Structure formats: C-alpha cells, structure tokens
Amino acid sequence: MRWRVQYKKGPVIRFLSHLDMVRLWERTLRRSGVTIELSRGFNPHLKLSLGTVLPVGLWGKREYLDLELDGDWTIDRFRSHVSQVLPPGIEIGNLRDIPPKTPALMAAINASVYRIAIPKAWTEAAFGTVDGLKQASEIIIVRSKDKKKTDIRPGIIELNLIEDRLGSELEAVVVVGGPQAVRFPELVMALADFGLPEEAMTDYWREANYIRDGGTFRSPLED
Amino acid sequence: MLEDRLRRILPLVSKPARYTGHELNMIRKPWNEIQVRMVFAFPDVYEVGMSHLGGKILYGLINEHPDFLMERAFAPWPDMGKLMREKNIPLYSLESFRPLKEFDVVGFSLQYELTYSNVLNMLDLADIPVLARERGEKDPFIIAGGPNAFNPEPMADFIDAFIIGDGEDVVIELLKNVRHNRANSRSERLRSLANIHGVYVPALYRLAYQKDGTIAERKSLFPEAPVRVKRAVVSDLDSAFYPVNPVVPYLGVIHDRAVLEVMRGCQRGCRFCQAGIIYRPVRERSAGNLKQMARDTLCSTGFDEISLASLSTADYSAIDDLIKSLVDEHGPRGTGVALPSLRADAFSVGLAQEVQRVRKTTLTFAPEAGTQRLRDVINKNVTEEDILSACTAAFDAGWLGIKLYFMLGLPTETEEDLDGIIDLVKKIKRLAGERCKRSPKIHVGLAFFVPKPHTPFQWEPQASQDEMEEKKKYILANGRIKNVKFDFHHSATSYLEGIIARGDRRLGQVILSAWRRGAHFDSWREHFNPKYYNDAMEEAGLDPDFYVSRKRGWDEILPWDFVDSGVSADFLWEERERAYRGEVTPDCREEGCQDCGICSNLGVDLDLKGGH
Ligand code: SF4
C-alpha cells in the first residue's frame, strides 16, 4: 500500500538537512508502531522517500513524503499512531493512498513556492525589486556549485509582493529540477542584485510544492 | 531572542543543526521553579558528545529530580566559535538558550587529554574566568568527571571540583550541597564540597617539588580535604538509574543507536588498560532488565540498532540468552544488535553470527600485540590459535570485513614483535584467500602505547616520537600486503597525550599557554598544532621527556597517588614485575580473587547475574 503524506517542517528544525529529515521520519515511524515495508539487503531500512530537497535553513509549510505500508491501515489509525510521537516542529497535514505506479515525488514535483518576510522599512524597496526582476529580460547570477554565470529568468514563474500589517511577504514561484531549476540561494542572490539584501529578510520558508503542467498547478495530493 | 540572532549566523557555519537543540526527548524544565541548575559541558563537537553514555545517564538522572535540572553544551566547531566571538554570543545551553554563566554548576566530561584546551576555550566563550582562582562569588562551579579525573592534576588550575568514579550518586550529593550552602562564601562552599565522598577540590592542597622535578610533598591545607580521595562506586548497577528516553540527535552522530550498558567493569586484567582498573569490579545488569530497557529505549527513540555497551561485552554472563532474545524480538522489524570490540575467539564470533541475522557488520578484534611473548607481558589472554580460529569462523560465516587493532611501543617490545604483527596479518590474509570467494577488507589499526595512571605500567617510559616513527616506518616497509590497509595513530598526538596523561599540576600553565597561543580541537588532526605545546613547555621551563620517557621508581610520589582507585599499589607493582617475567594473571571471575584490593577497599563485590 503506497501512501502520500503532507507535513510541515517547522521553524525550530529549519537547519536539518535532507538526510536528517529522512532519519527523522524513519525514527518517527518506528516509534509510531505503524508497519512500513523494509527494503532488502544487508542494511534493511524503511521504504520511504521525501519530496524535493528543502534547503538547510528553510522551514516548509507543505512538504511531502511517500511510504509503503505493510498491512491494513486506515487514515485515522495512521494519524493517531503517528501524531503521538512526532518530534518538535513536525505536523502532519493531509494524506491519502496513491496508485502504486505514481511517479516518485522527487521526479513529479517541478515547481516550488518560496516566501520571504520583509519588514515595513524595506517594503518600498521590495516593490522596486519585484518590478525590476519582472521587467528584466535576463537575470544573471553566479551559480554556487560550479561558479558558472547563469540566467535564472526562465526559471522564475511568478513573483508577487503581498503587503500586510507587519510589512510584506515576497512570493516567488520557481522551477524545481531540470536545467531551468532555480535554487533558493540563487533567488536570494538575484534579489540582492536587484536591491533587496539578505538583511532585509526576517524569515523565509517554502510555502508549497506543485506538479506543474503548462499553466496548471496541482498539489502532489491531487489526481 | 538569542534564537533569533542565531538564525542569522547559522546559515554561515557547517552543520548548523549542532547548535539548535529541540531534539526529540530533550528535557526543558521551567527555569524559575528549579533550585539548582547544572549544564553538562562536553569538550568536543556535538556529534562526539552526543554519543557519550555517561552524559546520557546524568542528563536523565538529574532531570528526574524535582529540584534540579541539567542542560547541555558542546564545543562549537571553530567556524562557529569564531562567529560567536565576533557577534558577542556567549556559549549557551541547547535547552533554554541561556549563557553557561547563568547556571550554578558547569560539569565537564574529561574523556581524553587532547580535549583539555577545549575546556578552556568553552569557559572563555562562556565569559567565565578560565582559572579557578580568578572566579568570583557569582560564577558557577566548574566541575569535571570521567576517566581522566583519575589524574586530575593537569586540570587542577581550571576546575573547582572533580568527581572521581561513578558519578550517579556523587552528582546528586553535590547539587544538594550547592543548594544547602548557597548563602556561604565561595571558599566556604568549596570546602564543603570536599566533604562529599568521591569529590576532590584541588585548591585545598599545596604541592612542593624536589630539585629533580618530582613531587616532594602534597599537603592538605584544610581539615575537610582528605589526604587521599576515594573513588565513588555504584555497588548495585542493576538497580541504578538508566535513561530509556535519551535525547535523539537529528544529525548523524558517531554512535547513532540505542545503547544498553550491560555491565560496568572488566577484570580480564590487561596491564596497559586503565579502564580495567578504574571501573573494577564487574557489575552486571540482569538480562530481564536489559530486555525491558531495550524495548523502552527503542519505543522512545525509534533507533534501528541496539548496541550492547561495556568494556568486554562477550564476557557478560548471560550474553547468549540476551542476544538471542533481542534479535528474536526486534529483528523482524529490521532492528539490529551491535557488539562493540570483541575478543578474538570463536565464542565471540558465534555471538557475532547471531547478530548477523539482521545486519552484516565489520568484525573487530584487538590482539594488541604480535607475539605470544608480548601478549603475555600485557596479560592479553588470547593465543594465535584463538585469533586464527576466530577469523576462520568469521570468514566461513561470510563476513565482509575485519578490523584488527594493535599497539606499538609496549614495554619490552622488539623488532620480533613488529614482525609478529605483520606475520599475523599475513596469515589472516592467507586464510581469507582460502575461505572467501571475494576477498574481505582487512583493516589494521595501530595505536602507540601511552602508559596510564593506575595501571601496572604507570611507572614505565613511553616510546619517544622518533621511536614511534621508526616503528611505523618498519611496519610500512616490511608489511606491504595487498588489500590490507594499515592505519597509524598520529605520533605527535600520542606524545602529547603521554605528557598530559601522567602530568602534574605544573602542566596547568602549559595547557593555559598553549590554548592562548591558539590550541583547540587538538584531537582533530586538521586543527592540532604541536608547536603550541612545545612552545608552552619551553616557556614553563618543563621538559616533555620528564613526563614521557622517564622510568619512575617505586618510591616516587606520583601526581595521581592521592586518588584512591581502590587498587593496591603493591598489586600494580607485582603485576609490573610479572609482566617483565612474562607471567600471566588470570581473571578473578574464573580463578578466584587475585587480591587487587578493590573489592574490600571499596566495599563492593563482583556482581554476576549468571553466576560465576
Ligand atoms: S579484589 Fe579480587 S575479586 Fe575484586 S576485582 Fe580485585 S581481584 Fe577481582
């Protein structure tokens, strides 16, 4: 039985790496008593896989996890077992069973939404940054992994600034995976180049992950 | 607030999750409702400290007490240490993010001489005076325990009080004492601490030295300060506290598994081994309790491996039954059992095979010396036949790798003994060729022998650094064996370890000055710079060879003589003589009491759950 679970990685555990998160889920599921299938081989481990890597330092509102259950489990029973043993910062959202042939999360998720909180004092400047980026025909940054100059404009799907009482939130929808992928640090670099430095960001997180097909976005939990 | 500031700097450092706490099973008690607050300080990086068993025990034990709390702090990695200084962030605890200065007691665990500079660095990062005599009324008490407290003198300038021996009972006594004496002056409070059994307060003594550098006299200055400080010991381990809900790190740490302490102590009697003396006699936990502990720990942590920890787990009297039932109960869910260093005999391989039902691991044997003659000298009661038959059994069972540990520079060692190591490895390699389809990995670890206090070799000279390098060269030149990897300890590290291990109080100024010159994380090769210590020794007018290469006599007052580990000096000396005569001494569990003096001296007994 294959299941897909949506969860929140809260701010207190924002500095956990992808590998730490895999470990966290393995242990959580072992504690819960939920029976998960084991892989074969010398070092058996639980069959589970996480969605696209969330960069160290970010928390995530809607992250995803696939797992293969062993035996009959209902959603309610699963939820009650797991919610009793969750570590600090983790919350479980929606979950459902998925057909066995569903593409893996890593391959399926191709768009992510990042949000950056900006205080009042910087909101004015942030509007300028968003306009500037939107109008730019290319946005050249130096990629950290290979020091190559790259245009990330094609990978930025949408940019918005949402004003609120405390200041504003900048929302960026970007491509994940493939040659156009935009990594979060690259986005931060581009924002800085266009007038919004890192010290203007009081918080940042990943708001959501999507499977994008042309102009339509659907959540990994939708058919 | 501090957490907010950290969020900004943590993206700049390696492994930021070392500094953020909030792990599963972390205990954060309401600060204001607690009477005495202690922080456990480990002078190495998070991943090392979180693997340490003693810390887990104290953390659970103290936090169970309604009036006390214990939080944790580890040595920040140099990148983080530097940023903390730049941004004025004091060393803080991972539970409540409070500076160490706000605690009543800061307790360091001393496991290894090369972490001492980190103790100073952590105190300084915490804005606490590194020198005990410069601390004021409001500063916390800095205490220290662990195996290295059995020669506390090199750290005497920095530590207010040492706990010597098993910490469980002493630390609670100490916290009660702190609570009781709050109104008194710091010096009165220190003197009161010295009344506690197992506590040593170095400021209450004065040392005088002879012209030749040896100790002339050790004087106790106050009636509270006992001439000899007797080690504390938990006589009934089975009923002692054990943490079944330890903090579970998010980061991969060194020992990332559920740990069961099956017993404390070992009386095989290896003559180089300090642990064999300072944890004597063997006290076991019952198999029934251990099984329950395993269940509870797995349930509270979600670990996928159980490690049976002790100095010599194969000697646990009910080991067969314990392993079998752990594997039967937890194996089906993919949970494995791990056995630390095994004895090189077929019995141990049989145990390991039981464990293999779940996962394939590397087998580790420590023959320690290459010839029977030298193994007799060190009282390592294992024969070449044992070793080879253990390897045969392992290869037949399909093991993928074998690790062998040896020591270089043991007393009486000659070239023949080095050849013996190479020959033995060659024989094992040949066996592997005959028995295995695919050649298993053979890994040979070679450490340099460092004589330790409270052992029969405490009077013996240690090999000089040149000698160590020569031995290494000899093995490398004569031991070229395909697919076998030789790994040597760093000779400069072993040399410094040797200086401090048998050092006296005067080394305090050396450690201080080396730290001021930049020493920290000395146990990490990329950070170790022996020059800091060489310069510091020279500045202090001390000769390293006085500590390392000198043979001590029976009459000499050794810096750690006042620490009463329970063992009689006569026994140690007699063991030393027997070593030179090549006579072995049997295990008192099997052949009856060998009169080491510990049981009667400490009022404890062997405690074997499966009978003798
Ligand atoms: S006193 Fe005797 S029985 Fe006790 S540990 Fe020493 S040798 Fe063994």
DSSP notation for B22-41 = --BT-----GGG-SEEEEEE
Q: What percent of chain B has pLDDT over 90?
A: 82
pLDDT value at position B197?
A: 97
Q: What angle do CA A108, A114, A118 make, to 5 degrees?
A: 175
Is the model's pLDDT at A47 over the cut of 90?
no
Q: What angle do CA B134, B138, B140 make, to 5 degrees?
A: 80
pTM for the whole structure: 0.94
Closest to A30 (Cβ–Cβ): which among B26, B250, B302? B302
What is the tens place of the pLDDT at every residue in B500-526?
999 999 999 999 999 999 999 999 999
Provide the mean pLDDT of chain B.
Answer: 93
For residue A6, list its beta bridge partners: A64
Look at B431-435, B469-473, B569-573 and tell me which has the smallest mean pLDDT.
Answer: B431-435
Q: What is the average per-residue pLDDT within B296-317? A: 92
Is the model's pLDDT at B221 over the cut of 90?
yes
* Architecture of the domain whose range is A111-218: 2-Layer Sandwich (3.30)
Q: Using pLDDT thresholds of 50, 70 and 90, give the confidence band for residue A42.
A: low
Does the distance separating the beta carbons of A38 and B20 come in below 8 Å?
no
Per-domain residue ranges for chain B? 2-230, 237-506+542-602
Q: Give the up-direction half-sphere exposure of residue A51: CA atoms within 13 A in the CB hemisphere.
A: 27
Q: What is the average per-residue pLDDT within B404-418? A: 96
Q: What is the ipTM of this complex?
A: 0.90
Does the distance separating the beta carbons of A45 and B250 come in below 8 Å?
no
Residue indicated by tokens 């022996």: B530
* Residue at B415: amino acid letter: E
Most confidently predicted of A41-55, B199-213, B300-314: B199-213
Residue B608 beta carbon below 6 angstroms from any ligand 1 atom: no
Q: Using pLDDT thresholds of 50, 70 and 90, give the confidence band for residue B479.
A: confident
Would you call B9 an interface residue with chain A, using a CB distance cutoff of 8 Å?
Answer: no
What is the tens place of the pLDDT at every residue in B33-62?
999 999 999 999 999 999 999 999 999 999
Ligand 1 nearest atom to the CA of residue B597, by list position:
1
Taking the C-alpha atoms of residue B186 and residue B343, their distance in angstroms, rounded to an integer, is: 49
- Phi, psi angles (nearest 5°) of residue B554: -60, -35
Residues in chain A: 223
Instruction: Provide the strand spans (E) within B506-580.
Output: 563-564
* Architecture of the domain whose range is B237-506+542-602: Alpha-Beta Horseshoe (3.80)
Is the model's pLDDT at B612 over the cut of 70?
no
What is the tens place of the pLDDT at every residue in A110-165?
999 999 999 999 999 999 999 999 999 999 999 877 888 999 999 999 999 999 88
Q: Quick check: B9 and B79 in contact, CB under 8 A?
A: no
Would you call B360 an interface residue with chain A, using a CB distance cutoff of 8 Å?
Answer: yes
Per-domain residue ranges for chain A? 2-107, 111-218
What residues in B contact A27, CB-CB < 8 Å? 24, 248, 301-304
Is the model's pLDDT at B181 over the cut of 80?
yes
Q: What is the average per-residue pLDDT within A15-42? A: 90
Residue indicated by tokens 């020198």: B131
Q: Using pLDDT thresholds of 50, 70 and 90, give the confidence band for residue B1.
A: confident
What is the tens place of the pLDDT at every residue in B308-340?
999 988 889 999 899 999 999 998 888 888 887
Taking the C-alpha atoms of residue A220 and residue A60, their distance in angstroms, rounded to an integer, is: 15
End-to-end Cα spacing for chain B: 58
| Cα(B379) to centroid(ligand 1), Å | 16
Cα B138–chain centre separation:
31
Would you call B2 an interface residue with chain A, using a CB distance cutoff of 8 Å?
Answer: no
Q: In which element (H, E) is residue A203 found? A: strand A203-213
**Interface size, chain A vs chain B, as Cβ–Cβ contacts under 8 Å:** 69
What residues in B contact A42, CB-CB < 8 Å? 359-360
In CATH, which of 3.40.50.280, 3.90.1650.10, 3.40.50.620, 3.40.30.10 is domain B2-230?
A: 3.40.50.280
Nearest CA to ligand 1 atom 6: B596
Q: Using pLDDT thresholds of 50, 70 and 90, give the confidence band for residue B359.
A: low
The reply to whether domains A2-107 and A111-218 share a CATH topology is yes
Q: Quick check: B313 and B262 in contact, CB under 8 A?
A: yes
* Residue at A198: amino acid letter: E
Closest to B16 (Cβ–Cβ): which among A42, A46, A56? A56
Does the distance separating the beta carbons of B359 and A31 come in below 8 Å?
no
pLDDT value at position B532?
A: 98
Is the model's pLDDT at B437 over the cut of 80?
no
What is the tens place of the pLDDT at every residue in B132-164?
999 999 999 999 999 999 999 999 999 999 999
Closest to B302 (Cβ–Cβ): which among A31, A38, A88? A31
End-to-end Cα spacing for chain A: 17
Q: What is the average per-residue pLDDT within B262-274? A: 94
Q: Min CA distance, A48 vs chain B (Å)?
A: 14
What number does CATH give the domain A2-107?
3.30.70.580
Q: Using pLDDT thresholds of 50, 70 and 90, give the confidence band for residue B242.
A: very high
> For chain A, what is the largest distance between any 2 Cα atoms, rounded to a whole number of angstroms?
58
pLDDT value at position B356?
A: 66
Q: Quick check: B415 and B479 in contact, CB under 8 A?
A: no
